[in-house]
A and B are shown apart, each in its own frame.
Chain A
Amino acid sequence: MRRVRAFFGGIHPSENKQSTSSTPIQSLPAPATLVVPLLQHVGREAKPLVAKGDEVLKGQLLAEADGKISAPVHSPVSGKVTAIEPRTSASGRSVTSIVIENDGQDNWVEREAHPDPVQLDAKTIVERIQAAGIVGMGGAGFPTAVKLTPPQGVSIDYLIINGCECEPYLTADHRLMVEYAEEIVLGAKLLAKACGARKIIIGVEDNKPDAIASLKEQAGAVDVVALPTRYPQGGEKQLIQALTGREVPSKGLPFQAGCVVQNVGTAYAVTKALRDGEPLISRVVTVTGSVIAEPQNFFVPIGTPFQDLIEAAGGFSQTPGKVVAGGPMMGGAQFDLEAPVTKVTSGVLAFGVDESKTPNPMPCIKCARCVDVCPANLMPLKLEAYGMNEQWDNAEEYGALDCIECGCCTYICPSKRPLLHYIRFAKAEIIESQRRSS
């Protein structure tokens, strides 16, 4: 039995997962028009290969990766490209997107399936993962192939599959683990082979016993570990600490602790890409929240507008006050429901007007509860003050760049201060000034 170490800090917000955690994932038919953004990942925007008026097949390459840190984009349906233009994205900014009119035929492009992908060598696996446009599906969207190729001379000891899903409300990963454990375990093996990891650990929070049972049934030599339910257990650095006892150095990356962390959704996508030859063109999205009539999990083609998702979940039962893409802790509020589902959209949540009100902040009373909960061992109250007073040097000295933006500080603050807003501000300014001086 593996000894699980607790990471420092963290909180336990009410989980609110019950409304979607026991219903199977439904497949959502593709809508008539899809908007596929060219930037769904961290890095450079993909370069379009199609033009307005082109006929495309399902799974066809629409845009290729531009440079090393980028990912290609594929067509989620067969149909016709009607426009390539800036469209609203979930980030609130306009992103160049390919608009596709669905012909309803679902004509697939030729797929290169492989009955036993474990036979493939590491290099081929990495290449196919990159070609399938797979990015970190837990929310960060870092191209998976880049994570799998650590710098020369670094050996990877552990491949960690992240099944924590510590954000409240979300159950997309949970249902995927219950229903597709076989694919996840196979994906984990492929990922481990690709990065040369000696050992595979799947970490799951202990509030999902059915997922743990289902994974253990398939696991074989793969270690499935139950972790205490505590936000942000699914944070990369926190998960590494809990499972291996190792710490990722300040401003460092997981490979420096000999680990590669991948989300369960990513593992599933890897299996689909290598075994069935299907690029990443759909994902599981949890549609829930107090004002959603019939909360559910859907397999959604990428490019489906949030509006269609909400309608498929029975629409709004009351006037919504706020719609959030992603989890309630880290997700971004949406102004426009025309924004499409991307590779990193894990959930669409809608909350009532009263729930969405931002409380008036009171002065900081220096109670240091934010310090107690900060999983990155920072002093959020100091960082907030430095951000507010634009003292970027001090913010950097106090480790602003190590903030993982989990929002525990803002959640726990008895004065209801928007701590994370100012820390993010400080981070952005520090990165900007570093960019300017280099």
Chain B
Amino acid sequence: MNTTIVSLVSMGSLAALFALGLAMAGRIFAVETDPKIDAIEEVLPGVNCGGCGFAGCRAFAEAVASGEAPTNGCPVGGATVAQMVAAVLGVDAVAPVRKVAQVLCQGGNAEAKQKGTYDGPVDCRIAHATQGGDKACSYGCLGYGSCVKACAFDAMYMNENGLPVVIEENCTACGKCVEACPRDIIILVPEDQGVHIRCRSLDTGRKVRQVCSVGCIACQRCVKVCPTGAIYMEDNLARINYDKCTNCRECVAVCPMKTIDWQDGKPLVLEKAAVS
């Protein structure tokens, strides 16, 4: 009987002591967190893809709460998430411009010449580091699908011609494929743009013709025909300023190599012409 009481009292008082200690520690060492951060994190997709430029969703939430990142900075969440984040902060929602990835090379197995055989590991970055891979064009797609492997949203696949294809509906513009590509072929472009110069080769026209049937030969025809001055030539490659492009397709019609590509279903953007 006596033993029971002694043990109950001693254990009980120890428990009370520790509880007091914990309660005090909780007060003294408490970390002040902004409740907004948790609220924002709650509405984010939570895939930690890093597409916003921060180390995961929590870091992005912190940045938004402290005003370092815009409310519409989550490319994956798009307009819906931007709205919810704005609601948490009590500000007006600004819908983000939805971007999608575009592959700027059309030189698949049928179009681009091989300079040899590569039998190392199937990875673009390793192939690129090993004598620049097996394509004769040193700027074009290597076709080993590192971008497809990097995509966490099932928005890419390799077609039978050995080129990656973006499924635009699934693309969240997280930028993982852009990072994975050793040749910087993939870029993120506003969704409504339909005209793309699908070549990255800085070689001279003569050299391009030798290695690829769809590469930019720097003939300047697109530059001359563009009514808004959106296309310019730099280092033997036509480049497009998407801010000025109105999707008028004049350049698509004159390109002799079919390098400039038009995607169906993209509307003509007339306001831009007025702006420029």
- Proximity bits, B121-133, A CB within 8 Å = 1, else 0: 1010110011111
Residues in B106-159 with C-beta less than 8 Å from chain A: 115-116, 119-121, 123, 125-126, 129-134, 138
Q: Which single member of B119, B125, B132 contacts A425 (CB below 8 Å)? A: B125
Name A424's contact: one of B129, B131, B132, B138 (CB within 8 Å): B129
Residues of chain B lying within 8 A (CB to CB) of residue A334 = 131
CB-CB nearest in chain A for B127: A421
> Smallest CB–CB gap between B271 and chain A, Å?
38
Take A93-B132, A421-B126 as given contacts and tell me if A335 and B120 are in contact as well, using a CB distance cutoff of 8 Å.
no
**Interface pair B121/A91, CB less than 8 Å apart:** no
Interface residues of A in 387-425 (CB under 8 A from B): 388, 418, 421-422, 424-425
A22 to chain B, nearest CB (A): 33
Measured in the bound complex, the distance between the Cα atoms of B130 and A354 in whole Å is: 21
Q: Is the CB of B138 within 8 A of A335?
A: no
Closest residue of chain A to B202 (Cβ to Cβ) is A86
Interface size on A, residues (CB 8 A): 18
Given known contacts A94-B138, A335-B115, A335-B134, is B121 in contact with A422 (CB within 8 Å)?
yes
Q: Does A330 contact B (CB under 8 A)?
A: no
The contact string, 1 if C-beta is below 8 Å from chain B, for chain A 324-341, is: 000000001111100000
Grouping DSSP codes into helix (H, G, I), strand (E, B) and loop, the A interface class, with mixed when no group exceeds half, is mixed
Chain B contacts of A358 at CB under 8 A?
119-120
The residue that B126 contacts in the complex, of A332, A335, A425, with Cβ under 8 A, is A425
Q: Are A421 and B130 in contact (CB under 8 A)?
A: yes
Q: Across the interface, name the chain A residue whose C-beta is closest to B204.
A: A85
Within the complex, the shortest CB–CB distance from A125 to chain B, in Å, comes to: 37
**Residue from A335, A418, A421, A425 in contact with B116 in the complex, judged by beta carbons closer than 8 Å:** A335
A422 B126 Cβ-Cβ under 8 A: yes
A421 to B123 CA separation, bound complex (whole angstroms): 10
Whether A421 and B121, one on each chain, are in contact in the complex, defined by CB atoms closer than 8 angstroms, is yes
Residues of A within 8 A of B120 (CB): 358, 418, 421
Partner of B131, one of A91, A388, A425, A428: A91
A79 to B115, CA, bound (A): 31
Name the B residues within 8 Å of A333 (CB-CB): 116, 130-131
Task: Compute how far the CA of A289 lies from the CA of B167 in the bound complex, rounded to whole angstroms.
Answer: 49
Looking across the interface, which residue of chain A has its beta carbon closest to that of B123?
A425
Residues on B with C-beta less than 8 A from A421 are: 120-121, 126, 130
Report B233 CB to chain A, min CB distance, Å. 18
Cβ of B145 to closest chain A Cβ, rounded Å: 14
Contacts A336-B115, A422-B126 given; indicate if A92 touches B121 (C-beta within 8 A). no
Q: Which residue of B lies closest to A424 (CB)?
A: B129
Q: Are A425 and B138 in contact (CB under 8 A)?
A: no
- A422 CA to B123 CA, complexed, in Å: 10
Contacts of B123 in A (CB 8 A): 425
CB of B54 to closest CB in A, whole Å: 15
Q: Which residues from B are CB-within-8-Å of A428?
A: 125, 129
In the bound complex, residues from chain B placing their C-beta under 8 Å from that of A92 are 130-133
Q: Which of B253-271 contact A (CB under 8 A)?
A: none
For A93, give its contact among B116, B121, B138 (CB under 8 Å).
B138
B126: chain A residues at CB < 8 Å are 421-422, 424-425
- Smallest Cβ-Cβ distance to A92: which chain B residue: B131
Question: Which B residue sits closest to A417, measured CB to CB?
Answer: B121
Query: A51 to B116, alpha carbons, bound, how many Å?
Result: 33
| Interface pair A335/B121, CB less than 8 Å apart | no
Return chain B residues, CB-CB under 8 Å to A332. 130-131
Rounded to whole Å, the gap between the CB of B58 and the closest CB of chain A is 19
Q: Which residues of B contact A93 (CB under 8 A)?
A: 132, 138
Bound state CA distance, A232 and B145, in angstroms? 35
Contacts of B138 in A (CB 8 A): 93-94
Q: For window 72-128 of chain A, which residues contact chain B by CB distance below 8 Å? A: 91-94
Q: Which residue of chain B lies nearest to A358 when distances are taken between CB atoms in the complex?
A: B119
Q: Enumerate chain A residues within 8 angstroms of B115, measured Cβ to Cβ.
A: 335-336
Which residue of B is nearest A357, CB measured?
B119
| Alpha-carbon distance between A428 and B126 when the two chains are bound, in angstroms | 10
Tell me which residues across on chain A come within 8 A of B119, comparing CB atoms.
358
Residues of A within 8 A of B125 (CB): 425, 428-429
- Rounded to whole angstroms, the CA-CA distance of A92 and B133 in the bound complex is 8
Residues of B within 8 A of A335 (CB): 115-116, 131-132, 134
- Tell whether A425 pairs with B129 under 8 Å between CB atoms, given A358-B120, A418-B120, A418-B121: yes
Contacts A91-B132, A429-B125 aside, 19 further interface pairs with beta carbons under 8 A come to: A92-B133, A93-B138, A332-B131, A335-B116, A335-B131, A418-B120, A418-B121, A421-B120, A421-B121, A421-B126, A421-B130, A422-B126, A424-B126, A425-B121, A425-B123, A425-B125, A425-B126, A425-B129, A428-B125
Interface residues of B (CB under 8 A from A): 115-116, 119-121, 123, 125-126, 129-134, 138
A-B interface, 5 closest residue pairs, ranked by CB to CB distance from nearest: A92-B131, A92-B132, A335-B116, A358-B119, A335-B115
Q: List 28 A-B contacts (CB under 8 A).
A: A91-B132, A92-B131, A92-B133, A94-B138, A332-B130, A332-B131, A333-B130, A333-B131, A335-B115, A335-B131, A335-B132, A336-B115, A358-B119, A388-B121, A418-B120, A418-B121, A421-B120, A421-B121, A421-B126, A421-B130, A422-B126, A424-B129, A425-B123, A425-B125, A425-B126, A425-B129, A428-B125, A429-B125
